[in-house]
């Protein structure tokens, strides 16, 4: 159980609170927000603290500027959107440490809100340097972490700062994430179906292995499926696969068999002859030389839909095709609709899967949508996340 901001013993009035959020939203080339899901997910905690009269300082990262100031990765568009959603003025500052920031925090009035600039404009954030963490903690009474999406990162604003602030609490989103993901680990209702997609086995391999002891059916889609098919000795044409993960994939398939887990791999495929979004597509059962798989086929989708229909618990992370292309997204949308129609307890994580939920217009029909892709996968492995550990009641 986590130490919560809902603790009635805490008097928030006038407390200077550093609230770590995950406002890492996608932006288009014009710097406009494409998807504000993460901003909206932060509102419950933000509004609670403001209503209680806290002096609120919000910190977040955006993208991967690698320690350099990149105007295209500024949190300024986020500040504008957050201001619209909260319907109150936000003080946006163009740095996150320094004497000017220290003065603004000191002068901040109860119920007011300050948004710091992108933490990752400083290389010290990702290096988790103590001096940077101390500067973030200056004049802060309470640290609240509501950034589950960054909880697997041992960064200064996630882990380092907790050494220098006396009170460390979980926001409402953090609590929901931990509670709902624990439902997948602790006695999930069976049958339990896990759907894992995406481009690389290496990105998901560590998460799949621990799941095999708890699930009944494993659906593998996306480009990573071709590594598994190749490991089985099947022809994959020119489809992308990871040569250095073939043995690992074979071992996972054996472990699944040993655990009596049904594995659904593509039985048919949507293919192109040239890896291009405009290339004409065909549906084939057997890949031949020159074929590039970009989506699972209708027969495979039907098999997935049957497994999903009978499931009592579902976890989905990653698209089953090239979701960025209209020619490769259709059956990912089919998965989204099937999960939404299921009566099972369903958890969906990962930005691409969440985008598919929106595209299929079924976001609100999922039991729980996790804001953390990598954090979600690591949590399910049983890894103690550096952003969660300091918040646990001892």
Q: What are the two backbone dihedrals, phi and then psi, of residue 142, each rounded to the nearest 5 degrees?
A: -140, 135
200 an active-site residue?
yes
Catalytic one of 297, 349, 374, 387: 374
Catalytic one of 80, 127, 168, 200: 200
The residues, ordered by sequence, that sit 6+ positions from 110 with a Cβ below 8 Å of its Cβ are 13, 14, 53, 54, 55
| Residues 327, 330, 331: CA angle, nearest 5 degrees | 125
394 an active-site residue?
no
CA atoms within 13 A on the CB side of 235: 10
Before 191, cis peptide (omega within 30)? yes
Q: What are the two backbone dihedrals, phi and then psi, of residue 55, each rounded to the nearest 5 degrees?
A: -95, 105
Catalytic one of 351, 372, 373, 387: 351
- Compute the distance between CA of residue 197 and CA of residue 199 in angstroms, rounded to an integer: 7
Q: 297 near 271, Cβ under 8 Å?
A: no
Catalytic one of 15, 38, 81, 245: 38
Across the strands, what pairs with 370?
Answer: 349
- Compute the distance between CA of residue 234 and CA of residue 303 in angstroms, rounded to an integer: 19
349 an active-site residue?
no
38 an active-site residue?
yes
* Neighbour-count burial of 225, counting CB atoms closer than 10 A to its CB (0-12 exposed, 13-18 middle, 19+ buried): buried
Q: 295 near 331, Cβ under 8 Å?
A: yes
Catalytic residue annotation: 38, 200, 351, 374
């Amino acid at each position: 159980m986590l130490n919560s901001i809902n603790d009635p013993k805490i008097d928030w009035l006038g407390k200077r609170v550093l609230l770590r959020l995950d406002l890492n939203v996608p932006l288009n080339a014009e710097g406009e927000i494409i998807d504000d899901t993460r901003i909206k997910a932060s509102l419950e905690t933000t509004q609670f603290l403001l209503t209680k009269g806290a002096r609120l300082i919000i910190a977040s990262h955006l993208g991967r500027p690698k320690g350099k100031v990149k105007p295209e990765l500024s949190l300024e568009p986020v500040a504008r959107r957050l201001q619209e959603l909260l319907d109150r003025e936000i003080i946006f500052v163009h740095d996150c440490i320094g004497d000017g920031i220290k003065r603004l925090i000191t002068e901040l009035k109860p119920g007011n809100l300050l948004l710091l600039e992108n933490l990752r404009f400083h290389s010290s954030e990702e290096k988790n340097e103590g001096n940077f963490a101390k500067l973030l903690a200056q004049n802060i009474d309470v640290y609240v972490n509501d950034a589950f999406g960054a909880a697997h990162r041992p960064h200064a604003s996630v882990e380092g700062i907790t050494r220098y602030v006396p009170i460390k609490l979980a926001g409402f989103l953090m609590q929901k994430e931990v509670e709902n993901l624990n439902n997948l680990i602790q006695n999930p209702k069976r049958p339990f179906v896990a759907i894992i997609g995406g481009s690389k086995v290496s990105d998901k391999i560590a998460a799949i292995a621990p799941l095999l002891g708890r699930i009944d059916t494993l659906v593998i889609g996306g480009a990573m499926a071709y590594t598994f098919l190749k490991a089985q000795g099947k022809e994959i044409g020119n489809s992308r696969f990871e040569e250095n993960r073939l043995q690992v994939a074979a071992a996972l398939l054996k472990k699944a068999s040993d655990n009596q887990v049904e594995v659904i791999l593509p039985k048919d495929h949507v293919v192109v002859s040239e890896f291009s979004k405009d290339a004409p597509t065909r549906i084939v059962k057997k890949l031949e030389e020159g074929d590039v798989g970009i989506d699972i086929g209708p027969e495979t989708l039907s098999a997935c839909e049957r497994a999903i229909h009978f499931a009592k618990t579902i976890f989905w992370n990653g698209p089953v095709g090239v979701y960025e292309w209209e020619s490769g997204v259709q059956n990912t949308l089919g998965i989204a609709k099937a999960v939404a129609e299921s009566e099972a307890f369903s958890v969906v994580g990962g930005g691409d899967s969440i985008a598919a939920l929106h595209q299929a217009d079924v976001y609100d029909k999922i039991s729980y949508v996790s804001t953390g892709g990598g954090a979600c996968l690591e949590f399910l492995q049983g890894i103690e996340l550096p952003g969660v550990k300091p918040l646990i009641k001892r």
